[in-house]
Structure 1
């Protein structure tokens, strides 16, 4: 019996639909859409932590210091240590190292030991600010030197907190005392001359010492870790000295370049600093 034209068209359309459906189903099962997962590919949730591509770097070991390693003294600073990479940074320094015993300072993390940092220098307890950390090592400001750091392994000691900071602006002849970032006092001061400048950069309060003479208002001075830039230009009696902050009763000196490198401050300001500031307090001298 012959098939009518309309029935033949209907059969052809049905066959085409079945072919397309079969092709789509085959594609889905082969991973072209939301078909069954490939058993060779594990399912990983979007928030599953992935293993780091690089394992943590090992802490560089500390070389044994030689028996004849020099010890930092009041008039003898370290040699071979690196320069402070940010000497005039005013970013607050909040921690310090107080060595319980002689502690070797290295020229880099895992580098060479260059000098011993003693627990006391000329009777003053040593507290040095921590200015950087790297891979299990800490960098501290080295005393009896200018703009110098030394590295120590972060083992066998606990950092101490620092709350104060003193900033001396050479351009403005101004000294500012900050506690936890808040200004506590500001004074116009006298600074070193062009021949005997006040050392710029980061240093710290090493301790306090007595003074002799009415011009110091009978007040102790704060001894800093920094030393004269060119000691040969000073009187022989001052060449082994450190920079200091001390009172000065001759008010005509304030705002001028007149000292041998020390910072001269009004007596009232000096009394406040002596009552409040502890050893290890960072002192930043900016140009």
Structure 2
């Protein structure tokens, strides 16, 4: 049984990506705001307290009360390596989106609602640059799918901290027929028969996304592995790393059309080559059809 091992948390690089449509997903590395210092300076200067400290006051977007100040350093990062508390489940796990994907231009806090309680920190990079699908927007806040456990978790990020682009692509995985479809601007441009998780280690269903791309020198079955923003429901780890479900190829074709993996989606080599060109953050839907 071969498993992929995700790169360690300190690794922040990924293979250079190109999009067939010329869509460029990029962002500069922002400077992380030191919230604690800002609060102290504000108090010393006698100014008004930070809006985060105004419990029950209006949020900048007028969408509701703002939670009390939270020390960002006390919050976990939202990555594929972490498990978060206080997240909101995906309200529409099979619904498509308008293609918007968001990249934090600086480390920002994830909230449980627009202007609500901070529950995590979203880093600028993790497995490559962080790109997340936008599934809803309320005022100055975007609801995104998160890469953390529990799978299918969502959170809210302030639009002011995001670079938002649009990808024309969408990936659909159908477990019943063991097919993977690639769509561009709503039109199916490719379809492949794939391998999926076995009954004892199923591939999870729901909405997720392309989280990154990396190579693993410890295995020979796939030149590049494409981790998704979802996790195995039965495995806490693959090869010592988190139990992150991924798309990758396989050296023999007999696995395609069979439920024999530990939850990952095994695709033919030509499928992997095309999927490598799809921008990070692109929506992936997995259903039982």
1:131 matches 2:132? no
Whole-angstrom distance in 2 between the partners of 1:72 and 1:153? 15
Aligned mate of 1:72, from 58, 78, 85? 78
In structure 2, the CA distance between the partners of 1:160 and 1:166, relative to structure 1 (3 Å rule), is same
Distance 1:192 1:93, change over 3 A: farther
In the alignment, structure 1 residue 199 sits paired with structure 2 residue 204: yes
Q: Does 1 or 2 have the higher relative contact order (CA < 8 Å, sep 6+)?
A: 2
Query: Contact 1:204–1:224 (CA<8 Å) still a contact in 2?
Result: yes
TM-score by length of 2: 0.72
What 5-or-longer segments of structure 1 have no aligned partner?
1-56
User: CA offset at residue 141 of structure 1?
Assistant: 0.4
Q: Deviations over 1:232-253 (max 9, x none)?
A: 5x66x25613111001122111
Q: Could you state the TM-score of these two structures normalised by the residue count of structure 1? A: 0.72
Instruction: Give how far 1:115 is off.
Output: 0.5
Equivalent of 2:268 in 255, 266, 269: 266
Contact 2:105 2:161 in 1 (8 A): no
Question: Which SS does the other structure have where 2:244 is aligned?
Answer: coil
CA contact (8 A) 1:93 1:129 kept: no
Q: Say if 2:195 and 2:257, in contact at 8 Å, map to a contact too.
A: yes
1:225 is matched with 229
In the TM superposition, residue 231 of structure 1 has moved relative to its aligned partner by: 2.1
* Larger relative helix fraction: 1
**Pair 1:99 & 2:104 matched:** yes
**Residue 238 to residue 183, structure 1, CA distance change in 2 (3 Å):** farther
- Corresponding residue for 1:184? 189
Tell me the residue number matched to 2:147. Answer: 143
Figure out how many residues of one structure are paired with residues of the other and give that number: 224
C-alpha contact 1:228 1:239 (8 A) present in aligned 2? no
Residue 172 of structure 1 aligns with which residue? 177
State the shift of 1:77 in Å: 3.1
1:278, distance to aligned residue in structure 2 (A): 1.4
Q: Deviations over 1:40-68 (max 9, x none)?
A: xxxxxxxxxxxxxxxxx933354443241
**Larger gyration radius, structure 1 or structure 2:** 1
- Of residues 244, 247, 253, the one that matches 2:246 is 244
1:256 equivalent in alignment to 2:258: yes
Cα-to-partner distance string for 1:79-119 (whole Å, 9 max, x where unaligned) = 21100001122x24311110012111111122211001111
Q: Is the 8 Å Cα contact of residues 106 and 151 (structure 1) preserved in structure 2?
A: yes
CA–CA distance in structure 2, aligned partners of residues 61 and 121 of structure 1: 31
CA distance in 2, matches of 1:77, 1:96: 22
CA distance in 2, matches of 1:62, 1:155: 16
Instruction: Report the 3-state secondary structure (helix = DSSP H, G, I; strand = E; otherwise coil) of the residue aligned with 1:209.
Output: coil
Query: Which SS does the other structure have where 2:254 is aligned?
Result: helix
Uncovered stretches (5+) of structure 2, i.e. residues with no partner: 1-60
**What CA RMSD, in Å, does the superposition of the two structures yield over aligned residues?**
1.9
